[in-house]
Amino acid sequence: MNPPPALTRSDIEDFLFAEADLLNNWRLPEWLALFTDDAVYYVPSTDLAPMASPQDNLFYIADDHFRLSERVKRLMKRSAHVEFPRSKTMRLLSNVRLLAQDAASLSASAAFITYRTKDAVTDTYFGTHYYQLARDAAGLKIREKRSMLASDGLRAQCRISIII
Amino acid sequence: MPHDIGPAVKIDEARATFSVARRNFVDPGILQAEHDRIFNHCWLYLGHESELPGPGAFLTRAVGGRDLLFTRDSQGRLNAMLNACPHRGARVCRERAGVAKIFQCFYHGWVFGADGALRGLPGAGAYQPDFAQRPQAQLTHVPRLESFRGFVFVNFDKDAVSLADYLGNAREYLELVADQSQAGMGIVGGTQEYAIRANWKLLAENSFDGYHAATNHATYLDYLKSTTGGLAPIALCGTGRALGNGHGVVEYKAPWGRPIAQWIPAWGDEGKARVEAIYQNLVERHGPARAERIAHSNRNLVIFPNLVINDIMAVTVRTFYPKTPELMTVNGWALAPRDEHADDRQARLHNFLEFLGPGGFATPDDIEALEQCQAGFSNMREAPWNDISRGMGRESPAYDDEAQTRSFWSEWNRRLFGEPA
């Protein structure tokens, strides 16, 4: 059998823009379905080395798939007080790069700006998302999403209560 | 002082009510008085000894409105200095942390040792021969630097009581953390740096408030129930205690796992064996009663005015400072045994992040609560008082009463207005 044709940057952009669209519209259970069962989601603290491990360093967020699914469950409840009433969010992606690929996996990165507005206050999150993607006949899934903030901590944003 | 507007704290023993004026959270005059009478005179947490592991290690940190340079010099001694060149005032160190033998001010090139002494003066011939030895040519040390069981504090009042006397009854609770490991405790890499758009005192109150868990943290409690294998079969119960000098603590049992040392099924049989070995080591070192207390009790400790040490599903060290009456900055760290097994460390940090910090399942809802309180204070002209009466008059206050919070406010009131507690 021939290997599947290589994906292009614009294939990756389509996938990432669709992911952003689900998040912008608070369609979190559908967003969660983009992840593999062994997926992880990381937001490291900003005073750490770029590829520091969450096993022995304090992050802001280090979710395995179970906790990511619990995060989604939590955010869909009225009792997730920090997101009640729900904030309005807008995610912009740029500088998308396809870093490597083989038949079953890809790595990619994208610069991001995420705006979160609640009670007439807008917080801005920015940095780079690093993706490890899995590819099979059904398409792409996210195996790892690592969101590296380019700010000094969360001094300006106060919290990270949404999926950036 | 705007005290003539009315009392800041109103206590009615007969009716068992304790009220705090909402003005205390919004008034710039109050904030100025807090700088003058609290932050300039109380012992303030600078850092943990483990953050400067060897000679030459340094870090810079904002403490009490100052920028400090915290170093371990070539003799291994700790130094805390104002990070300002004696020449024209520029910061001599602009890095966050590292290792350095000397610090050179980039403006005119003056060079200082890790002990703050002037080591190099470009064009020294243009100065008087003894100039480099004069006090005004050296970095200025903070007036007082003392440590207790690895926790390092500064005081900007040279006449302050000793740190040990200031900590008083709170020492017992710092010991219960410091004694968790024979190898000593250390700060884990990574700092949570965030802010809350609310008055700083709201976070002191919140950090040892046992009353808000059921509603404010409902989603966290839901999450705990759905974790693999469930929890330890233990109900939330315990006591609150005013420790004097404004310090306070709540101490209680809880169903979550504690790396030292309360096992939960999610940690498996290997985890169980390690937790049992840790427990046994505690018994050998401290006897059965103290071992039980260290391992199975949780403690939320507030050391007046702004140090929180929560020994719960993980250990967090947290400080916070006002920027304005309505904005604070917060730093959070994780403290752990230096010799912790890699799997236990992973479980500890997993625990930490499920509750704590601005991306956790609980802290963001605390942040929301504090910001909503601050927003509510805009109504203070017609609705001027907060109530802190819960459990007043009870002989033994519960963990979800407010005795510890009244302790904080009594000391705050005494320091600002000289009124007895």
Is A154 among the domain residues?
A: no
Cβ pair A154:B219 closer than 8 A: no
pTM, to two decimals? 0.96
Under 8 Å between Cβ of B79 and B115: yes
Is A52 among the domain residues?
A: no
DSSP B4: G
Q: How confident is the model over A139-157, as pLDDT tens digits?
A: 999 999 999 999 999 999 9
Å between B71 CA and nearest CA of chain A: 19
For an interface test with B, which of A46, A53, A55, A58 has the most B Cβ atoms less than 10 Å from its Cβ? A58
Under 8 Å between Cβ of B308 and B319: yes
What is the crossing angle of helices B403-417 and B200-207, to 10°?
Answer: 150
What is d(CA B264, CA B351) in angstroms, rounded to the nearest whole number? 11
Chunked into runs of 10 residues, chain A (164 residues) has average pLDDT values of: 86 98 98 98 96 96 97 97 98 98 97 97 98 95 98 97 97
- CB nearest to A70's CB, from B196, B226, B334: B226
DSSP B238: E
User: CATH no. for residue A32?
Assistant: 3.10.450.50
What is d(CA A159, CA B368) in angstroms, rounded to the nearest whole number? 9
SS3 B111: strand
What is d(CA B168, CA B165) in angstroms, rounded to the nearest whole number? 5
pLDDT at B421: 47
Q: Which helix (H) or strand (E) holds B385?
A: strand B385-387
What is d(CA B25, CA B178) in angstroms, rounded to the nearest whole number? 34
Chain B residue at shortest CA distance from A153:
B193
* Structural domain of A126: 9-46+57-149
Cβ pair A61:B190 closer than 8 A: no
DSSP output for B28-74: HHHHHHHIIIIITTS-EEEEEGGGS-STTEEEEEEETTEEEEEEE-T
Cβ pair B329:A47 closer than 8 A: no
Cβ pair A45:B192 closer than 8 A: yes
A54 Cβ under 8 Å from any chain B Cβ = yes
Cβ pair A56:B333 closer than 8 A: no
Judge if the upstream peptide bond of residue B261 is cis by omega within 30 degrees of 0.
Answer: yes
B49 Cβ under 8 Å from any chain A Cβ = no
Under 8 Å between Cβ of B306 and B322: no
What is d(CA B328, CA B326) in angstroms, rounded to the nearest whole number? 7
Q: How confident is the model over B321-372, as pLDDT tens digits?
A: 999 999 999 999 999 999 999 999 999 999 999 999 999 999 999 999 999 9
B350 Cβ under 8 Å from any chain A Cβ = yes
SS3 B335: strand
A69 Cβ under 8 Å from any chain B Cβ = no
What is d(CA B70, CA B53) in angstroms, rounded to the nearest whole number? 12
**Three-state secondary structure string covering B245-311:** CCEEEEEEECCCCECCCECCHHHHHHHHHHHHHHHHHHHHHHHHHHHHHHHHCEEEEEECCCEEEEE
B413 CB burial (10 A radius; 0-12, 13-18, 19+): buried
B212 Cβ under 8 Å from any chain A Cβ = no
Is A111 among the domain residues?
A: yes
A50 Cβ under 8 Å from any chain B Cβ = no
Segments of chain B with pLDDT less than 50: 1-3, 421
Å between B357 CA and nearest CA of chain A: 7
Chain A residue at shortest CA distance from B358:
A159
The two three-digit tokens of residue B399, written as one number = 């963990």
The two three-digit tokens of residue A105, written as one number = 């996996």
What is d(CA B148, CA B282) in angstroms, rounded to the nearest whole number? 21
B contacts of A155 (beta carbons < 8 Å):
193-195, 329
A contacts of B346 (beta carbons < 8 Å):
55-56
Under 8 Å between Cβ of B312 and B256: yes
DSSP output for chain A: -PPPPPP-HHHHHHHHHHHHHHHHTT-HHHHHTTEEEEEEEEEE-TTS-TT--TTSB-EEEEE-HHHHHHHHHHHTSTT-GGGSSPPEEEEEEEEEEEEEE-SSEEEEEEEEEEEEEETTEEEEEEEEEEEEEEEETTEEEEEEEEEEE-SSTTTTT----S--
Cβ pair B364:A155 closer than 8 A: no
The two three-digit tokens of residue B321, written as one number = 């400072």
What is d(CA A151, CA A83) in angstroms, rounded to the nearest whole number? 22
Under 8 Å between Cβ of B379 and A80: no
Structural domain count, chain A: 1
What is d(CA A145, CA B218) in angstroms, rounded to the nearest whole number? 28
B contacts of A148 (beta carbons < 8 Å):
none
Is A3 among the domain residues?
A: no
- CB nearest to B367's CB, from A43, A73, A159: A159
Complex ipTM value: 0.96
SS3 B3: helix
What is d(CA A132, CA A141) in angstroms, rounded to the nearest whole number? 9
Cβ pair B367:A74 closer than 8 A: no
Q: Which helix (H) or strand (E) holds B415?
A: helix B403-417
Q: Domains (ranges, CATH) in chain B?
A: 44-155 (2.102.10.10), 169-417 (3.90.380.10)
B346 Cβ under 8 Å from any chain A Cβ = yes
Cβ pair A58:B188 closer than 8 A: yes
Å between B319 CA and nearest CA of chain A: 14
What is d(CA B198, CA A161) in angstroms, rounded to the nearest whole number? 17
pLDDT at B167: 98
A164 Cβ under 8 Å from any chain B Cβ = no
pLDDT at B225: 84
Is A117 among the domain residues?
A: yes
A107 Cβ under 8 Å from any chain B Cβ = no
A contacts of B186 (beta carbons < 8 Å):
none
What is d(CA B165, CA B147) in angstroms, rounded to the nearest whole number? 12
What is d(CA B295, CA B156) in angstroms, rounded to the nearest whole number? 36
Cβ pair B349:A67 closer than 8 A: no
What is d(CA B381, CA A82) in angstroms, rounded to the nearest whole number? 27
Is A107 among the domain residues?
A: yes
pLDDT at B401: 96
What is d(CA A124, CA B258) in angstroms, rounded to the nearest whole number? 35
What is d(CA B264, CA A153) in angstroms, rounded to the nearest whole number? 32
B192 Cβ under 8 Å from any chain A Cβ = yes
Is A138 among the domain residues?
A: yes
What is d(CA B284, CA B302) in angstroms, rounded to the nearest whole number? 29
Dihedral sign, CA of B178, B179, B185, B187? negative
Is A155 among the domain residues?
A: no
B349 Cβ under 8 Å from any chain A Cβ = yes
What is d(CA B360, CA A80) in angstroms, rounded to the nearest whole number? 11
